[in-house]
Structure 1
Amino acid sequence: MKIGIISQWYPPEPALVPPSLAQELARRGHEVRVLTGFPNYPDGKVYPGYRQRWNDRSATDGVTVRRVPLYPSHDNSPVRRAANYLSFAATSSLAAARYLAGVDAVYVYLTPATAFAASALLRLLYRIPSVIHIQDIWPESVTQSSLAPHGGAGALMDRTLSTLMRGIYRSAAGIAVIAPSMRDLIVERGADPAKVHVVLNWTDESLFHPVDATESARREIGHRGRCTIMHAGNIGSFENIEATIRAAAAVDQSGQVDLVLVGGGFEEHSARELTSRLGAGNIRFLGRRPASEMAALYAAADYQLVTRRDLPIFHSTIPSKLPSALSCGSPVVVSVPGDASRIVERGGAGVSCPPDDWQALADRFLQAAALSPVERADMARRALDTYRSQMSMRTGVDRLEDMLRTAAGGGRPSRGNSDR
């Protein structure tokens, strides 16, 4: 097939699914054309070595990539953020009219939702079908953010974006969602159930894969024979680090559990202050580490910790940290709302508790510490099995390829088990 891929984000920006999908589809014999913007995320500045121009094309690994100009911005200004989204919607639509005119189907990495504009034009001009891969729920991702206006303007924005999304759901030939609960929500909002299929996001399997634990990595994280639980990634308000610190401090005197935090973020300073104030001697901060080192650090710990605040926007998503941990064969302790806990529980890949409850989390820390080495090894095996069967790149690309082929042929996907 001839396949178009539309994504506002593409390497060297930190985007994983669009490039790996493009490369794998090309490896499978498809002709793949990518339409994207000039890289500027997350700083809102065009990357060094790139100069915005209209007809910028390159070819790598059998994939042709065309970049179109956009307004670069990722600050806290609602006007500039809107200009960033809408400028890509406009320039990608203009370019798509010729660049993607001959494709059989289009895949749209739907974040932001305005990325759908080019595929809408292709459908209007040439009846080219599209498969959208929804990464976050609109309008909530906008209306519940710090960028949203309040009062009447906020209500108008909510109604406008809700209408936009209903139109997108109707127009798309296929809808992939990244969590089972997201499927239920999209169907509730008017999407045809026959169109909607669960395709979980995968991780970068070249970086996150099982490795043997080494003494050097154990020394790096300060492993001292206790059950060591690692929180890796952003230390921000959405992760509710305060609850994590309080839970670890509560079990300090047991002498069974250490907590290691790898990463940084806006809440790191307050987390360090809280740790000092509580006098917790079982919490260590390692700072940021390169992604290339993380598999080894994961292997040196006993469990990976995945947390999220109990907010509506997280009920229908799965934290990217979860597939990264499972892909490494790491058992997990999860304190998140929604599907992530259910995936872990069904797969026997770890232990879970409700979000925003530090006392329950402290109990799970002790529960995890009480498991024998044999039980932990079995849990690690189940973690890797869960990733390979539900979240791997091969599984995800199989399902998206099937949806694209079905969209181009006008039928229904053959993999019915992708819905749950």
Structure 2
Amino acid sequence: MHILFLTDNFPPEGNAPATRTYEHAREWVKRGHKVTVITGAPNFPEGKVFEGFKNSWYSKSDLDGINVVRVKTYITANEGFLKRILDFLSFMLSGFIAGLFVKKPDIIVGTSPQFFTAVSAWALSGVRRKPFVFELRDIWPASITAVGAMKESFVIKLLEKLEMFLYRRADSIISVTHAFKKELIERGVNSDKIEVVLNGVDLQKFQPASDKDPLLASTYNLEGKFVAGYIGTHGMAHGLEKIVHVAEQLQEYGNIRILFVGGGAARKRVEELVAEKKLNNVILINRQPKELMPKIWSLCDIALVPLVNNDLFKTVIPSKIFECMGMGIPTLLSLPEGEATSIVRSTNSGLVVESENVKEIKGGILQLYENKEVYSQMKANSFASASKFSRVTNADAMLGIFSKLIS
């Protein structure tokens, strides 16, 4: 089988869509399938092309047996609605053109969060007369209004019409949460063509560390410290200002550190708040390569997983909770009650507190810091749960869906 996959993000970018696509594609290649990925020059989230890459019209490379085609796009930082739309539209066009020259694909997949990538995949499926699969990672454009990036408007309504058009035209929709599937069915999408393949973790890469990485721990003075870390994209949806306020209230606890690792639209505001409040218990590390993530995670005693208090985020499962499971790190979820909170509660792999509630987030950190028995049990439960969310199993599930469509 030749799988043609269109994605706006791909390694060396290290965000969730890039990681999911790469780890699945790598497994498909191992099983003897051909995979071509069309993407752009790596630049997320700062909007700056990574060192060693160029934003060229067309380039080809190989990554672990995956044929990677990179095309030119309008590049901007992950901030500002109109500029981001131009970014998405440029990839929609250049990705479609590149897809016309891919030889003999059997199935064409487009992945969100933004769905202009899926528009390219749908158009290519029509021209190439091959099945179109929409991998649904986010309910977009609803997430735009949920974080306040744009208000309800005529443009949003047009995007919603395009969204529904894609759902109906897709031969199969692969949702990353059960909640997304439920919402689509309620909106009239045929349930028979919606499958759920959750996010997961590469258990060969993410494993419990016996101790904090010695070089990093020394560099950032974290030896012997209890570290609560937020690692990932610093986006508007994460409410990271609240985590800074938590750090402010924890200053009297000399052994606790709050760690931020990553970049994004909200990163500058986090840095400004930390400087303004003169916090010496906050460690700021810039975005790091994906291959360093296990070492970065090793610095953390608990993982902070926040989202703003909006009903839309009841349907979201942050992929980092699975990496935490692989590392055996308890999570502290501060997000609306939904599928993610159910996973953490059912596995007893962490604590759940109210979204954006500074008092409760602080209380959760202190509970895990002070109650060694509870902490040890959640740490063990976290790793024990990881096998349920293996990326290998998920890749096989997607292959099964593809095989049905082309048989």
Question: Which TM-score applies when normalising by structure 1?
Answer: 0.81
Partners of 2:147 and 2:241 in 1: how far apart? 21
Deviations 1:71-92 (A, max 9, x none): 3334655444333222222232
Partner deviation per Cα, 1:250-300 (whole Å, 9 max, x = no partner): 5666x5972322336223334425754xxx88x332534745555345445
User: Aligned with 1:16: secondary structure?
Assistant: helix
**Contact persistence 1:236–1:268 (CA under 8 A):** no
1:132 aligns with 2:130: no
Q: Of the candidates 63, 67, 84, which is equivalent to residue 64 of structure 1? A: 67
Determine the structure 2 residue equivalent to 1:381: 380
Q: How many Å separate the matches in 1 of 2:64 and 2:26? A: 6
The question of whether the paired residues in 2 share the 8 Å contact of 1:235 and 1:266 is answered with: no
* Equivalent residue number for residue 210 of structure 1: 208
Aligned counterparts of 2:406 and 2:36: Cα–Cα separation in 1:
16
Q: Give, in whole Å, the separation in 2 of the partners of 1:215 and 1:165.
A: 44
Does structure 2 conserve the Cα–Cα contact (< 8 Å) formed by 1:70 and 1:84?
yes
The residue type equivalent to 1:104 in the other structure is: D
8 Å contact 2:27–2:395 — kept in the other structure? yes
Whole-Å Cα distance in 2 between the matches of residues 71 and 252 of structure 1? 43
Per-residue deviation, 1:361? 2.3
Secondary structure of the structure 1 residue equivalent to 2:100: helix
Percent identity among equivalent residues?
Answer: 24
Compare 183-192 and 74-83 and name the one that shifted more.
74-83
Q: Matches of 1:39 and 1:307 in 2, distance apart?
A: 26
Task: Call closer, same or farther: CA 1:296–1:77 in 2, change over 3 Å.
Answer: closer
Which residue of 250, 266, 271 maps to 2:268?
266
> Within the alignment, does 1:316 sit opposite 2:318 as a pair?
no
| Contact kept in structure 1, 2:55 and 2:71, CA below 8 Å | no
Query: In structure 1, what is the equivalent of residue 198 of structure 2?
Result: 200
- Contact 2:274–2:282 at 8 Å: present in 1 too? no
- Runs of 5+ consecutive residues of structure 1 not aligned to the other structure: 410-420
Map 1:168-187 → 2, pairs under 5 A: 168-187=166-185
How big is each residue's C-alpha offset from its partner over 1:94-117, in whole Å with a ceiling of 9 and x where there is no partner? 3323425x3222222223201122
- Please tell me whether the aligned partners of residues 247 and 258 of structure 2 are also in contact (alpha carbons under 8 angstroms): no
The 8 Å contact of residues 236 and 267 in structure 1, kept in 2 or not, is answered as no
RMSD: 3.2
Q: Does the 8 Å CA contact 1:257/1:365 hold for their aligned counterparts?
A: no
Report Cα offsets for 1:333-388 as digits up to 9, x if no partner.
21112322221111110111111222222332333234334x43332232123232
2:344 is aligned with 1:344: yes
Selected match of 2:92 from 83, 89, 101:
89
SS at match of 1:5: strand
Range with greater deviation from structure 2 (109-118 or 215-224): 215-224
Deviation at 1:5, TM superposition (A): 1.1
SS at match of 2:268: coil
User: 1:23-38 to 2 correspondence within 5 Å?
Assistant: 23-38=26-41
Residue 319 of structure 1 aligns to a residue whose secondary structure is coil
> What residue is the counterpart of 1:52 in the other structure?
56
Once the two structures are superposed, the pairs formed by residues 267-416 of structure 1 within 5 Å of their partners are 267-272=269-274, 275-276=277-278, 283-288=281-286, 290-291=288-289, 294-296=293-295, 298-337=297-336, 338-373=338-373, 375-390=374-389, 392-409=390-407
* Alpha-carbon distance in structure 2 between the residues aligned to 1:110 and 1:169: 12
Q: Distance in 1 between matches of 2:236 and 2:145?
A: 18
8 Å CA contact 1:40, 1:72 repeated in 2: yes
Match for residue 19 of structure 1? 22
Distance 1:75 1:366, change over 3 A: closer
2:10 match = 10
Q: 1:360 to 1:326 in 2, by over 3 A?
A: same
SS in 1 for 2:404: helix
Q: Secondary structure at the match of 2:93?
A: helix
Name the CA distance, whole Å, in 2 between partners of 1:290 and 1:250.
28
Match of 1:266, SS state, is: helix
Larger deviation: 226-235 or 26-35? 226-235
TM-superposition CA deviations, 1:181-211 (whole Å, max 9, x none): 2222222222222222322223565653322
1:135: how far off? 1.8
Higher Cα Rg: structure 1 or 2?
1
Q: Is the 8 A contact 2:7 2:117 kept in 1?
A: yes
2:154 counterpart residue number? 156
Q: Residue 330 of structure 1 contacts residue 383 of structure 1 at CA under 8 Å; is this kept in 2?
A: yes
- Matched with 2:111 is 109
Amino acid across the alignment from 2:100: A
The residue identity in structure 2 corresponding to 1:156 is F
TM-score using structure 2 length: 0.83
- Tell me, in whole angstroms, the C-alpha distance in 2 between the residues paired with 1:86 and 1:236: 21
Deviation at 1:123, TM superposition (A): 3.3
Give ranges in structure 2 of 5+ residues lacking alignment: none
Instruction: Give CA deviations for 1:296-327 in whole Å, capped at 9, x if unaligned.
Output: 45445432222221124433222243222222
CA contact (8 A) 1:181 1:316 kept: yes
In the TM superposition, what is the alpha-carbon distance from 1:30 to its structure 2 partner? Answer: 0.8
3-state SS, counterpart of residue 318 of structure 1: coil
Name the structure 2 match of 1:412.
none
**Structure-2 residue corresponding to 1:414:** none
Aligned to 2:36, the other structure's residue is in SS state: strand
CA gap of 1:215–1:67, structure 2 versus 1, over 3 A, is closer
One-letter amino acid of the structure 2 residue matched with residue 114 of structure 1: F
Distance 1:177 1:222, change over 3 A: same
- CA separation of 1:219 and 1:46: change in aligned 2, threshold 3 A: closer
Q: How many pairs were matched up?
A: 396
Distance 1:237 1:270, change over 3 A: farther
